Structure 1
Amino acid sequence: MVTAKEVPADKLIEKLAERLKKMQKIEIPSWAMYMKTGVYNELPPANEDWWYTRVASLLRKISIAEEPLGIGTLKTIYGGKKRNGTRPPHFRKGSGSIIRKALQQLEQAGLVTTIPGKGRKLAPAGQGLIDEVSKEILKELSS
């Protein structure tokens, strides 16, 4: 069986984003076109479909994790370096609102489940989706 660890992350996230867009269970929020992905950014993402990419990336991160991931951990993972002009840059966490809304959509789609007090874990449907997409990518790379 092919897993998410055995295929390149960029190809997996790209294919997952396309698949999630076709499923029509994940919708871009109305505020997403104006939202920055963290305080360390100056502008919102240039890609119009960045929401699907972020949701696919979250799904991949949760699938690779050995234990449930909470929003605080994911905020740290999606954080970045804030440039302060002439002062030294410092690390800042990513947007919790984006992560929270994306995880809620993944839960409603049945791809992620919540473990109270611990975080989010991949549901069997989510694991099946990732394995299926990973298998497609491996076929493409081997041919």
Structure 2
Amino acid sequence: MTTVYDIPPDVLIAKVAGELKQLDSIKAPVWAEFAKTGVHKQMPPKEEDWWYTRAASVMRRVYIDGPVGVQRLRSFYGGKKNRGTKPNQFKRGSGSVTRKLLQQLESAGYIKNTPEGRVISAEGRKFMDSVANSAKAEVVEQIPGLSKY
């Protein structure tokens, strides 16, 4: 069975984002089109459906790193802030975006909250593995010599 670990992240995240876009429980809030994804960014994302891409990425991170909390995910989605003539400094990503995405994924049943942190649920693992399995055909076409696996 193909799992999340067997598929390149960019291919998997794009496929999962497409699947998440079809769900009713995951919708971008009204403020999402104006919000930056962190204090280190100068502008909001230009993509219209960046919310679903970030949701797919968060879901993959929880699958791989879980149990994980909002602070750890903020560190993962952070970056260097340009401070002009002063040296750049690392800043964490937006906590509100991360928190809202985790809450929406919990309401969809793909993530569950435990005392240690958020982990992927059985339904979420099944969803991610099925998307990875369907993405395997695309990966095999893109990378020659991989068909024997």
Question: Which category of TM-score, normalised to the shorter sequence, fits these structures?
Answer: over 0.9
Q: Distance in 2 between matches of 1:47 and 1:120?
A: 27
Q: Distance in 2 between matches of 1:140 and 1:41?
A: 33
Aligned to 1:133: 131
Deviations 1:80-138 (A, max 9, x none): 0001111110000000000000000000000000002x210000111011101100111
Aligned to 2:104: 105
Question: 2:135 is aligned with what amino acid?
Answer: I
Write out aligned runs for 1:90-101 (5 A): 90-101=89-100
Q: Distance in 2 between matches of 1:2 and 1:24?
A: 27
Deviations 1:25-75 (A, max 9, x none): 20110000010000000000000100000000000001111x400111111
Q: Distance in 2 between matches of 1:61 and 1:89?
A: 26
Question: 1:103 is aligned with what amino acid?
Answer: L
Aligned to 2:55: 55
* 1:141 shift after superposition: 2.2
Moved over 4 A (4+): none
RMSD: 0.9
* 1:24 shift after superposition: 2.2
| Gaps in structure 1 of 5+ consecutive residues | none
* 1:142 shift after superposition: 2.2
Aligned to 1:83: 82
Aligned to 2:146: none
Answering whether residue 119 of structure 2 is matched by residue 121 of structure 1, we say yes
In structure 1, the residue corresponding to 2:33 is in which secondary structure?
Answer: coil
Q: Distance in 1 between matches of 2:110 and 2:86?
A: 43
TM-score (norm 1): 0.95
Q: Percent identity?
A: 45
In structure 2, the residue corresponding to 1:84 is in which secondary structure?
Answer: coil
| Gaps in structure 2 of 5+ consecutive residues | 142-149
Write out aligned runs for 1:6-85 (5 A): 6-65=6-65, 67-85=66-84
* 1:11 shift after superposition: 0.7
Question: 2:22 is aligned with what amino acid?
Answer: K
Q: Distance in 1 between matches of 2:139 and 2:83?
A: 42
